[in-house]
Chain A
């Protein structure tokens, strides 16, 4: 071959760079309208912007958790109660009255509810397809161990536990696709001394509980622990967490602190 050529640059790369700034709403005025118009008509950029937005929606989870004052909750709920719109047939009457006598509300009521069932059905089918695709994708890719472990959690099955013996505590057990291992995310338990541990239990109806392993929580009462799932989930009818002597026991002795959500 004769002559030289520069590197081939995909013209879409520039748009994809811009898609990130678009999702972050960091475009300068003159660029905004141009990029808006492109994204609206380009399925690749639409999808990429949507992906970026999903990431950004959970970005605040990395912030130090700040507690709003308790009075704010009461204030918001009180205001909501005082402005509640009437429901049923009276909603339509009230809405007609409002349209006739007042300027249009910024938050106009849409009569979309009849379509909600269709949307819900479509969503269920979409999620099922997503899960299959997800498992295939995860099988093909390899992430760093810790991030990969976290990222894989939702692929299997999730079981929710609630604080029966410790009000306010909650936990989720993410079971891997093979059903033999799990990641337990717990919050709201008190921190224990070195001679005590929390322990996870599984049981079939009428059988003795089998442990999934002990774990400890940090100073904030939280834990993410790798646990065993010693029984097929299809046969398990009870899952619980108890407090036990370290390093753990063969049969539960403490009261149930969390149980499978009823």
Chain B
């Protein structure tokens, strides 16, 4: 399997950790990394978008685990 493709989401990221998560995502060269704003209860959602998958799909799953 190739590298990451499609969209990956990390919810509940404390604002004091946003930079770390963004730096971690950057290691895989995403197309974009966005941070939800404003923070809710001191946490944000970080969304990284990677190129579409080799089959042309662009999968995402917005239901976080654990829900």
User: Do A and B share a complex?
Assistant: no
